Amino acid sequence: MPETLGSSPRGTSGVEISRDEVAHLADLARIDLSDAELDHLAPQLQVILESVASIQGLAGDDVPPTSHPFPLTNVFRDDVVEPCLSPAEALSGAPAVEQQRFVVPRILGDEQ
């Protein structure tokens, strides 16, 4: 049976990633890694995989999977239509108005 990512036993976690697998993953992600970077990253990824494997073993079958440790409730208020400014009231403080719009100085030339 061919080995797949993380299928080889190593230490107590049973997870192993080889340098070739790291190179393959980097290639899939289109990340160009040098030989020195591969040699440096393979052991680091091994530690990460072992950490994840150790955490997976903590929860028993009686613990349901959750996305948050505490229940979330909606903190938004209901969308209620309330009175707002009329166009005339909104434009009342504007220095210049044209066709119910604010008039502002032109900052761009005709080269739009």
Q: What is the pLDDT of residues 31-71, one digit of tens each?
A: 999 999 999 999 999 999 888 888 877 767 777 777 778 88
Residue 8 has pLDDT above 60, yes or no: no
CA–CA distance, 100 with 87 (Å, rounded to integer): 7
Structure-token pair, residue 34: 């040098």
Residue 3 has pLDDT above 70, yes or no: no
> How many C-beta neighbours within 10 Å does residue 68 have?
6
pTM: 0.42
pLDDT score for 13? 52
| Closest of 14, 33, 41 to residue 5, by C-alpha | 14
pLDDT score for 112? 54
